[in-house]
Amino acid sequence: MDEQQKLANSKEVLAFLATEFPKCFSLQSDAKPLKIGIFHDLSERLKDDTRLSKRLLRMSLRHYTSSWKYLASVKEGVHRIDLDGVDGDQVEKEHADHAATQLKESKAKAAEKRQEQKKQTQDKKGFKARAKIPGKGDSKDKKPAERKVKQAAPKVKVRELVDDDLKVGVEVSVKVGSSPMPATITEVAKDGIQVQLNSGMTVKVQRAQLRLTL
């Protein structure tokens, strides 16, 4: 037999045993308790088959007999079978109790493992949720104190200037560009009126550009 055709793992070995001894090993339907000493019988039947070693055969057999399906089949009074499916001795109470205990412990471990995996998944989700960075412009994630509130500038009451208003120190509103700006008259001349803006800059404007601030 070519080396490459050797069975590599328990899954392949069990599939091989189910094919070679279909009345003994079952992978699909319900299992049946195996004859005590079945490993010796297998070793004898397969002694000329180079596809698997005794070590892998023993490991695969242990895997089969520890499955939930097999443990559930080991009940008191049920007949054990040999490689050809022939009934043999009945399962004793001691062996049935041992199988029931193994099955219970195995299911408990599986449930504990599932619970632990579920907890780890929930912890990861919780960590991701806490680490989430709010997107820019997402006002829902901003605290009220962090929100910038635009307040409308208070409206300034003004009126047209009369002759008595044209005095140095009078506060006025001067239209420079598109928006009116607060200023103070610093000089009144025939060619125009000089005012000082709040920024400190002085400009000369015409009377029509000014309004008295009330």
Q: Which fold has domain 158-213?
A: SH3 type barrels. (2.30.30)
Task: DSSP letter for 31, please.
Answer: -
| pTM of the shown model | 0.54
Where is mean pLDDT largest: 53-62, 133-142, 159-168, 177-186? 53-62
pLDDT, mean of residues 120-124: 88
Domain boundaries, the chain: 3-111, 158-213
DSSP assignment of 37-90: THHHHHHHHTTT-TTS-HHHHHHHHHHHHTSHHHHHH--TTPEEE-TT--EEEE
Q: What is the pLDDT of residue 28?
A: 86
pLDDT of residue 161 exceeding 90, the answer is no
Residues of the chain with pLDDT > 90: what percent? 48
Looking at domain 3-111, its CATH class is mainly alpha
Specify whether the CB–CB gap between 83 and 24 falls below 8 A.
yes
Fold agreement between 3-111 and 158-213: no
